[in-house]
Structure 1
């Protein structure tokens, strides 16, 4: 078990309960992640895309005995429930908000107590749990700083139907099952991966001083290399053109900056090659 682990409640996340005889078949045709083989205590990371293959919402799928929970952004939970209801048609599925809180335990070292599930995106992120399993001793800002230090993009980086999931590194973070068959937006996603048409990805951007505002341009000389999506003091996540950003002298807000490739990302890209 990690020494002095931090536990925080993620008020930015909320649950949707999905149940009924057809719940697996229903979600299998929608999400980027395989749910047909999800165990009752399993946890998987995925997303719901637009038909054109752009990222709508990320979500964790938590297996339960009688269905699953979807761990989603709290601000978009109602919209996600409405979207799922549109897709339901005649499927025997029940979809409803659930008040159970979402907890995280980090850093990702050692073993966690029963009831905690290792984050499927990256073990170093820690564990997630659902329900009041442990008293919080940290805030959500502490977890966000931990995530940002690891260079893992989050919901603040997705944008509004503007980003492809591969640009957000979902393929490197276990968020897309390319073997599961059809899902909404599958054709575009699979074509990008198959043809290697991945010109831009989200990378950590390092600089001195406060984070630039979201949308601030990142420049390589006079050329646009990308834009900042979110950040904090000295560090941000930016969507960058790989051919212009990697190894280049960058500037953001007139300040020198550099793009980093986190170790987890480099390893995932090697395995994917």
Structure 2
């Protein structure tokens, strides 16, 4: 796990962190949220809740058991007990403050990007009070406009590098904690390397909405490969591209063999030095 759970045990009131699990080659297996779930008054027993893509819940469960070092650590699936909501726009009434409880619901500020919204953990069968429900596509569009990838469809297992996936920019890695699987490449890249490619928001040109397979090469007008297409919903999506090409006109081949124009955009939350 790339981040340090000790942040959840300090006195600063932090209750959730973003993190990733990597393979031994330093590539992304799974992205997760880690919540401080419960802590006894004596501090001897603590519980953490991991939120992950539901498609890989069982894989992550096996992964955790495989690398369990302390025999006293219990790992239990709560898939059938809770579900997660994201609050990213005002409902009919203001949502409860982050970190608060409203009945059985637990509210947390999304730790990835300031302003991205809140995460709400709710028991199965319960509703989130004070919000207006929208569909999942609205949430996807919200993330794409912010330039935030999530889950194995947008961060393909074993294919992505964590720093190119903006892990450090989204507060998801500690460079001072102890060793973890995949640490060596991640730390070396951070301390000595330059991140020339990043996942970023893109917009497709034209009125038609093309179908573009994930992993399709993105090219310059001269035909040079400069990145990979990740996903899109209507005209907005995400791609892994060289940061130097932000604002340039680029091309991608659609499923039917036609060419579509696209342009990458620099997210407002990126530090200025990432735009090189």
TM-score computed with the length of structure 2 as normaliser: 0.80
What's 1:134 paired with?
128
Trace 1:210-229 onto structure 2 (pairs within 5 A).
Answer: 210=209, 211-220=211-220, 221-229=222-230
Unmatched segments (≥5 aa) in structure 2: 39-45, 102-106, 254-258
2:262 maps to 1:260 = no
Residue aligned with 2:251, SS? strand
Could you say if the C-alpha distance between residues 41 and 260 of structure 1 is closer, same or farther in structure 2, counting changes exceeding 3 Å? Answer: closer
Contact 1:227 1:239 in 2 (8 A): yes
Contact 1:60 1:72 in 2 (8 A): yes
How far off is 1:104 after superposition? Answer: 1.2
1:37-84 per-residue CA deviation (whole Å, 9 max, x = no partner) reads: 314870110011011110000000000223110001111011111111
Residue aligned with 1:187, SS? helix
Contact 1:107 1:124 in 2 (8 A): no
Give the structure with higher Rg (CA). 2
Unmatched segments (≥5 aa) in structure 1: 1-30
Aligned residues: 240
How far off is 1:258 after superposition? Answer: 1.2
Runs of 4+ in 1 over 4 A off after TM superposition: 108-111
1:166-224 per-residue CA deviation (whole Å, 9 max, x = no partner) reads: 11111111111112232211111011111123221111111124252212221112100
What's 1:119 paired with?
110
Contact 2:88 2:116 in 1 (8 A): yes
What's 2:31 paired with?
58
Alpha-carbon distance between aligned partners in 1 of 2:225 and 2:95, rounded to the nearest angstrom: 44
| Alignment RMSD (CA, Å) | 2.3
Match of 2:198 among 201, 205, 228: 201
Alpha-carbon distance between aligned partners in 1 of 2:158 and 2:90, rounded to the nearest angstrom: 31
Trace 1:99-248 onto structure 2 (pairs within 5 A).
Answer: 99-107=81-89, 112-113=96-97, 114-115=100-101, 116-131=107-122, 132=126, 134-135=128-129, 137-155=133-151, 156-208=153-205, 209-210=208-209, 211-220=211-220, 221-243=222-244, 245-248=245-248
2:39 maps to 1:75 = no
Alpha-carbon distance between aligned partners in 1 of 2:252 and 2:174, rounded to the nearest angstrom: 35
How far off is 1:241 after superposition? Answer: 2.5
Alpha-carbon distance between aligned partners in 2 of 1:198 and 1:268, rounded to the nearest angstrom: 11
TM-score computed with the length of structure 1 as normaliser: 0.80
Alpha-carbon distance between aligned partners in 1 of 2:14 and 2:186, rounded to the nearest angstrom: 28
Alpha-carbon distance between aligned partners in 2 of 1:89 and 1:118, rounded to the nearest angstrom: 31
Alpha-carbon distance between aligned partners in 2 of 1:111 and 1:101, rounded to the nearest angstrom: 18
More helix by share: 1
Contact 1:219 1:252 in 2 (8 A): yes
Contact 2:243 2:274 in 1 (8 A): no
Could you say if the C-alpha distance between residues 134 and 96 of structure 1 is closer, same or farther in structure 2, counting changes exceeding 3 Å? Answer: same
Residue aligned with 1:95, SS? coil
